[in-house]
Chain A
Amino acid sequence: MDEFQAEDETTFVVEEVSKIIKESVEATIGGNTYQHNRVNQWTTNVVEQCLSQLSKLGKPFKYIVTCVIMQKNGAGLQTANACFWDNTTDGSCAVRWENKSMYCIVTVFGLAI
């Protein structure tokens, strides 16, 4: 039983991270319309909030958070990631969010120290 608990504290838990991302995005841009002069502030807020919540988890991980916000006007967007890491301890979580005027894609990478 003790061993199982310890594992939870040192592994990358996708559901937990996904929840943090969704909350950050909703809090920052939920209900807003794409605005060119505010989007800079939005992406910054999303990544900062995510990172701050992730570091509060207190796990022995380094984190990288990326956020892309794109206006909906019919343009095509393709994003992809490749990682060279330790498959047993590291992980990632990507969340795609949208509303009427924009798409927001947030990816969190967690690498065990």
Chain B
Amino acid sequence: MTGTEDTQTSYEGSFGAKEAEAIVKESVDATIGGEDYNKDQVNKWTAAILERCISDLCKLGKQYKYIVTCAVTQKTGAGLHAANSCFWDTALDGSCTVKWENRTMYCIVSVFALSIA
């Protein structure tokens, strides 16, 4: 096995964050698990991760609009900081951010779910 793959997650809100986390992890592992950072492929990877996440989230059949963001960055020692702020219904809406890494890159995926009902 080449390199370790770690994840950490943070949740906010009352929507099914655990389900979203599982969907994100599967999507990232399936797309870039075991790969090394490759600038020619990274475009395709982020698109593939997003498509799969959105499609699996919609299959949950819940009354939500979704926004999924994905950032992949090469490990070269550069500092990277990401922040989100949301103006929403705190009782119904929620988010889930998953930080994933392997030997050569970091991947940060955030899912925001906004209730339609």
Interface residues of chain A, those whose CB is within 8 Å of chain B, are 34, 36, 39-40, 42-44, 46-48, 50-51, 54-55, 61-86, 90, 107, 109, 111
Contacts and interface: CB of A to CB of B under 8 A. Distances in A.
18 contacts: A36-B79, A39-B79, A43-B81, A51-B85, A62-B88, A62-B89, A63-B88, A64-B114, A65-B86, A70-B80, A75-B73, A75-B75, A78-B42, A78-B46, A80-B71, A82-B67, A83-B68, A84-B67
B78 A62 contact: no
Contacts of A77: 71-74, 80
Contacts of A42: 81
B87 A51 contact: yes
B58 interface: yes
Contacts of B78: 70-75
Contacts of A63: 86-88
Contacts, number: 139
Nearest to B93: A62
A80 B65 contact: no
B11 interface: no
B45 to A, nearest CB: 8
B63 to A, nearest CB: 12
Q: How large is the interface on B (under 10, 10 to 19, 20 to 34, 35 or more residues)?
A: 35 or more
B114 A80 contact: no
Nearest to A35: B79
Q: Identify the 3 closest CB pairs spanning chains A and B, nearest first.
A: A43-B83, A47-B85, A82-B50
